[in-house]
């Protein structure tokens, strides 16, 4: 078994109103110097050793992310 | 086929809300409504399908992302490929985009707020199966209620939609969600599959809706089915 992390982020050119709302709230709490926030998703999968990278890529591309608006990255982090 | 002989199916997913109103709209238009179940890989011989609004599968992952894998959707995609009229309203529009029957995706409203109000729309295309009853340029008052209705697609896709006349409706008198180019609804290449965020099924009876402006969508599809 291995742990696989899939990060899904809105594409840079896609408006991210949730990230903007977080960014706008930071100065109100006294946190300065943070110019941008992008909000995405992180998935953690427990994966059998015989699941190959191509399969993981298809899971990310076809299901966990919508490639019209989101980029994804898959990485194995060990168990 | 007679109007009452036309059978229009309405899918119910876990979390669908507007399946009842959609079936009522079908009956009000004079057709026969058929309940379709998400887990049932069978369209029961219907002549058209409506994917209704709501929060299928709790909007988990992304709106419509889980529903596209429901057994009934495999059959809807297959039937749409053979030319069956399909209408997706609100969450149904999101499902059709996720399923690849329509381009683009619906994202979080730019103002972040859930918007619930009666909304003016302009009819851009009256040649699709679902819009023939409207005059081009006609303005309709139809309820909207969504938190994730901002239509997004890449510019070349938007250019192609506009160039091919596939934008069915645009928001007028204020864009409620930040949709690209004020798009409220679109159709596929053949004009058979349509999706929109506003709810025509909530505007079929002046007693319970702001207008009966939405009834034309159901009557339009019925015209096609009766003529077939």
For residue B102, list chain A residues with Cβ-Cβ distance below 8 A.
none
Whether residues A66 and B111 touch (CB distance < 8 A) is answered with no
Please give the structure tokens belonging to residue B172. 């007028």
Q: Which domain holds residue B49?
A: 7-227
Indicate whether B174 belongs to any domain: yes
Indicate whether B2 belongs to any domain: no
Cβ of B141 under 8 Å from any chain A Cβ?
Answer: no
Among B165, B100, B159, CA closest to B131: B165
Q: A79 pLDDT exceeds 70?
A: no
* Segment B40-65 mean pLDDT: 96
CATH assignment of the domain containing B112: 3.40.50.880
* Segment B183-200 mean pLDDT: 98
For residue A63, list chain B residues with Cβ-Cβ distance below 8 A.
61, 65
CA distance A20 to chain B (A): 10
Cβ of A5 under 8 Å from any chain B Cβ?
Answer: no
Closest B-chain CA to A64:
B61
Which residue in A15, A64, A68 is closest to B104 by CB distance? A68
pLDDT at site B2: 87
pLDDT digits (tens, 9 = 90+) for B4-24: 899 999 999 999 999 999 999
Domains, chain A, with CATH or none: 2-76 (3.30.1280.10)
Indicate whether B50 belongs to any domain: yes
Q: Where are the beta strands (DSSP E) in chain B?
A: 7-12, 32-37, 48-51, 86-89, 105-107, 115-123, 139-146, 150-152, 167-171, 183-187, 193-196
Contacts 24+ apart (CB under 8 A), B18-22: B18/B52, B18/B53, B18/B54, B18/B89, B18/B90, B18/B199, B18/B201, B18/B202, B19/B52, B19/B54, B21/B52, B21/B199, B21/B201, B21/B202, B22/B50, B22/B52, B22/B89, B22/B201
CA distance B195 to chain A (A): 17
Indicate whether B1 belongs to any domain: no
pLDDT digits (tens, 9 = 90+) for B125-159: 999 999 999 999 999 999 999 999 999 999 999 99
Predicted TM-score (pTM) of the model is 0.94
Indicate whether B159 belongs to any domain: yes
CA distance A52 to chain B (A): 23
Q: What's the total number of domains in chain B?
A: 1
CB count within 10 Å of CB B226 equals 16
Scanning A15-34 for CB atoms below 8 A from B yields 15, 17-18, 21
């Amino acid at each position: 078994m291995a742990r696989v992390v899939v990060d899904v982020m809105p594409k840079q050119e896609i408006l991210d109103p949730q990230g903007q709302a977080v960014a706008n709230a930071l100065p109100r709490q006294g946190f300065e110097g943070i110019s941008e926030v992008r909000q995405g998703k992180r998935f953690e999968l427990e994966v059998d050793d015989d699941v190959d990278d191509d399969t993981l890529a298809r899971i990310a591309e076809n299901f966990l992310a919508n490639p019209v608006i989101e980029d994804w990255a898959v990485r194995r982090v060990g168990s | 086929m007679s109007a009452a002989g036309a059978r229009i199916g309405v899918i119910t997913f876990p979390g669908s809300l507007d399946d009842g109103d959609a079936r009522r709209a079908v009956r009000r238009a004079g057709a026969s409504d058929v309940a379709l179940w998400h887990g049932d890989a069978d369209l029961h011989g219907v002549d058209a399908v409506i994917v209704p609004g709501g929060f299928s599968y709790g909007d988990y992952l992304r709106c419509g992302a889980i529903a596209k894998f429901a057994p009934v959707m495999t059959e809807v995609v297959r039937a749409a490929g053979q030319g069956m009229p399909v209408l997706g309203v609100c969450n149904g529009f999101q499902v059709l985009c996720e399923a690849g029957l329509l381009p683009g995706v619906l994202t979080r409203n730019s103002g972040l707020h859930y918007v619930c109000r009666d909304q003016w729309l302009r009819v851009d295309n009256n040649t699709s199966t679902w819009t023939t009853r409207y005059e081009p340029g006609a303005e309709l008052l139809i309820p909207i209620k969504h938190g994730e209705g901002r239509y997004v697609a890449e510019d070349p896709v938007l250019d192609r939609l506009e160039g091919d006349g596939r934008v069915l409706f645009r928001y007028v008198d204020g864009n409620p969600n930040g949709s690209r180019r004020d798009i409220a609804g679109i159709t596929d290449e053949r004009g058979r599959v349509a999706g929109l965020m506003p709810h025509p099924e909530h505007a079929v009876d002046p007693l319970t809706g702001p207008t009966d402006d939405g009834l034309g969508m159901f009557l339009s599809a019925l015209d096609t089915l009766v003529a077939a």
